Amino acid sequence: MEDVKKEESKQTESLPRRKPNQWARLAASVFFLMAVSGFLRFYGAIKQGATWREFGLLKSEYVYLIIAGLLYGLINLFAVGFILSRHRLRVMIAWIVALLGIGLYWIERLFLWSKDQAGINPAFMILLQLVFLLVLFMFHLFERKRQQSESLA
């Protein structure tokens, strides 16, 4: 019985290990940083709420900041969990969360920011979001390649 187990362990040791998808790790890291950003926004809105109201922030805007920060943190943390769980839908969830986050950012920037703030550095945010989409695209390609190689094996 022990000889069979030793033989099986030798066979499993000789099998090539699955290479980790470094793009998945990078995408998960970016989503994690965005989740931290959302939670810090939530915390900052709560912590500095009295100060912001003194400067004329409406109660509805204050509630929006709290909800938006919490929601942004939670959906990005959800994406991190899916990517790290190696769920078969992890690429699709990553794309949905990324496009949702980018869309919500631009809706907020175009419709809720004051006119003098909305024009500040849009090129940087576009470039940053394009780099993020490139990371997701590479994650998608390597994940598809891994799935194809597993289906052939």
Q: What's the pLDDT tens digit per position in 40-81?
A: 999 999 999 888 888 888 888 889 999 999 999 999 999 999
Report residue 9's pLDDT band, with 50, 70 and 90 as the boundaries: low
Phi, psi (5° rounding) for residue 112?
Answer: -110, -25
For residue 67, what pLDDT is reported? 95
Is residue 3, in this structure, part of any structural domain at all? Answer: no
pLDDT score of 24 more than 70? yes
State pTM to two decimals: 0.81
Is residue 83, in this structure, part of any structural domain at all? Answer: yes
Give the number of other Cβ atoms within 10 Å of residue 153's Cβ. 7
Q: End-to-end alpha-carbon separation of the chain, Å?
A: 29
Is residue 37, in this structure, part of any structural domain at all? Answer: yes
> Which one, of 91, 83, 90, 108, lies nearest residue 31 by Cα?
83
What is the rounded average pLDDT of the residues 29-45?
96
Structural domains in the chain (count): 1
Is residue 85, in this structure, part of any structural domain at all? Answer: yes
Q: Could you tell me the residue range of the domain that residue 114 belongs to?
A: 23-147
